[in-house]
């Protein structure tokens, strides 16, 4: 059996990251409707909700829709979608850091934002001639 090439190994790693950032945003987005994983409202600080002209429940649903769409964009336009997911996760982390709560989640989201950024760059590199 032939040894996998660097290119095929890179494609496998890119596929793993791609499917991670397709499935997880969609799952998190869907959970904004059913609250199986967590009560998402606790992550939205009072100062944010004071400037958002929507109820908390409506805002959580909109966030869920955005996450589902972002995951679908990663599926069809991986590089663009990965940049969107990376920015989205960085904004979530920034919001949590500013609020001074759930800093463990903020750190996790920073790591995921970096991973999504790596997926975008990796996808671009793989596509280069």
| Domain residue spans of the chain | 6-127
How many Å apart are CA 38 and CA 42, to the nearest integer? 9
pLDDT higher than threshold 90 for residue 94 = yes
Decide if pLDDT at 38 tops 80: yes
What average pLDDT does the segment 13-37 reach?
Answer: 97
CA distance to 6, 36, 88, 91, 97, per residue, from 54 (Å): 50, 23, 20, 19, 22
For residue 47, what is the DSSP state? Answer: H
pLDDT at position 118? 98
Q: For the packed helices 103-127 and 6-34, what is the interaxial angle rounded to 10 degrees? A: 140
Q: How confident is the model at residue 64 (pLDDT cuts 50, 70, 90)?
A: very high
């Amino acid at each position: 059996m032939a040894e996998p090439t660097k290119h095929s190994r890179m494609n496998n790693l890119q596929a793993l990251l791609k499917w991670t950032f397709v499935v997880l945003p969609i799952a998190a987005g869907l959970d904004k409707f059913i609250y199986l994983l967590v009560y998402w409202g606790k992550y939205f600080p009072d100062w944010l909700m004071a400037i958002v002209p929507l109820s908390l429940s409506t805002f959580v649903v909109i966030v869920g829709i955005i996450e589902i769409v972002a995951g679908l964009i990663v599926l069809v336009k991986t590089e663009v979608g990965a940049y969107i997911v990376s920015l989205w996760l960085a904004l979530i982390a920034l919001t949590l850091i500013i609020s001074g709560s759930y800093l463990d989640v903020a750190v996790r989201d920073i790591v995921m934002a970096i991973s999504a950024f790596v997926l975008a760059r990796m996808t671009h590199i793989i596509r280069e001639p």
